[in-house]
Amino acid sequence: MTAVQVQKKDQDRCSVFVNGKFAFGLHTNIVADKGLRKGLNLTEEDCRTLIREDVYYKAMKRCLDFMAYRPRTQKEIQQRLEALQVPEDIGQRVTDRMDELGYVDDECFAKQWAASRQRSKGFGPRRLEMELIRKGISSSMAKKAVQEACSEDEMANQLRAQVAKAQHKYRHEGDEQKKTQKMIGFLARRGFEIGAIRDAMQQSEA
C-alpha cells in the first residue's frame, strides 16, 4: 500500500493506493479498525475482505439515506437491501445494527403512519390497516396501531366528512339508487365499514 487519503468529496471515505495507483475506496472506520497505513503489505485476499467489509458501510449509508424522507418498516429496509443487491449476510448485519440503534421500530411506525394518513387522506380503519400490512406490519399490530392512533370519535368525524365529500362528488347523479351505490363504493374504498357507512349516510339525511 503506497498511500491512504481521505476523499475530498466524502470525509467518511478514504482512497487506498497500491503501487502508486488508486485501488479502491473504503470507509474511514475500516481504515482505522484495520490499522491501514502506507507501507502495509496487502494480499489479494486482504483486498477482497476489505472491499466486502466496505459493502456493509455502503449499504448502511444507503439505508439511512432511504430513511431520511420518512421512517421505514423492517420489510421496506429489507426490500431496499434486496434492490441494492446487498449479499444476504451483510444485509442481515445492516438490519441488526439498525435494530440495535433503534432506527427501525415497526410498532412506532405503524402508529405514526395510521395517524398521519387518517388526518391527511381521510382514510378509514380498513384502508389504514391494509396499507400497514402491505408495508410489512403484522395484521394484529396494524389493527392495534389504528385503534390507538385514531379514536372512535375521530373516525366518526372523518366518516361524516367523507360522506359530505361523496355527496358533493355525486351530486349530479339523478338516479338515487345509483347515487347511493356510488357513495357506498367510494366510502368503502376509503376504508370504512359498510354498516358504519349506511348509518352515517342516514344521519346526514336526517
The band of 89, judged by pLDDT with boundaries at 50, 70 and 90, is very high
Q: What is the CATH number of the domain that holds 132?
A: 1.10.10
Whether residue 146 is found in the same domain as residue 185: no
Q: Quick check: is 198 in a domain? A: yes
Is the pLDDT at 206 greater than 80? The verdict is no
Strand partners of residue 18 = 21
Tell me what the mean pLDDT of segment 83-93 comes to. 94
- Could you tell me how far CA 71 lies from the centroid of its own chain? 5
The band of 175, judged by pLDDT with boundaries at 50, 70 and 90, is confident
Whether residue 169 is found in the same domain as residue 124: no
Q: Quick check: is 127 in a domain? A: yes
Whether residue 180 is found in the same domain as residue 198: yes
Q: Quick check: is 160 in a domain? A: yes
Whether residue 158 is found in the same domain as residue 145: no
Taking CA atoms, 139 is separated from 77, 106, 136, 148, 189, in Å, by 19, 12, 9, 14, 19
Q: Which residues contact 152 (CB under 8 A, 6 or more apart)?
A: none
Q: Quick check: is 84 in a domain? A: no
Give the pLDDT confidence score for residue 151 in this predicted structure.
84
Q: Quick check: is 46 in a domain? A: no
Give the structural domain span for 113: 105-150
The band of 80, judged by pLDDT with boundaries at 50, 70 and 90, is very high
Across all residues in the chain, what is the average pLDDT?
Answer: 91
Give the pLDDT confidence score for residue 154 in this predicted structure.
86
Please write the tens of the pLDDT for every residue from 92-140: 999 999 999 989 999 999 999 999 998 888 899 999 999 999 999 999 9
- Residues of the chain with pLDDT > 70, as a percent, come to 100
Give the pLDDT confidence score for residue 95 in this predicted structure.
93
Q: Quick check: is 173 in a domain? A: yes
Whether residue 159 is found in the same domain as residue 206: yes
Q: Look-up: residue for cell 408495508?
A: 135
Phi, psi of 163 (to 5 degrees): -65, -45
Please write the tens of the pLDDT for every residue from 128-171: 999 999 999 999 999 999 998 888 888 888 899 999 999 998 88
Whether residue 146 is found in the same domain as residue 158: no
Q: Which residues contact 196 (CB under 8 A, 6 or more apart)?
A: 124, 159
Give the pLDDT confidence score for residue 205 in this predicted structure.
76
Q: Tell me how far apart the alpha carbons of residues 61 and 80 are, in angstroms, rounded to a whole number.
A: 12
Residue after which a domain boundary falls, among 150, 169, 184 = 150
Task: Report the number of distinct structural domains present in the chain.
Answer: 2
Q: Look-up: residue for cell 378509514?
A: 124
Give the pLDDT confidence score for residue 138 in this predicted structure.
93
Q: Quick check: is 95 in a domain? A: no
Q: Quick check: is 100 in a domain? A: no
- State the sign of the Cα–Cα–Cα–Cα dihedral 74, 78, 83, 85: positive
Q: Tell me how far apart the alpha carbons of residues 157 and 142 are, in angstroms, rounded to a whole number.
A: 21
Give the pLDDT confidence score for residue 152 in this predicted structure.
85
Whether residue 167 is found in the same domain as residue 202: yes
Q: Look-up: residue for cell 426490500?
A: 79
- Residues of the chain with pLDDT > 90, as a percent, come to 67
Whether residue 156 is found in the same domain as residue 204: yes
Task: Return the amino acid letter for 56.
Answer: Y
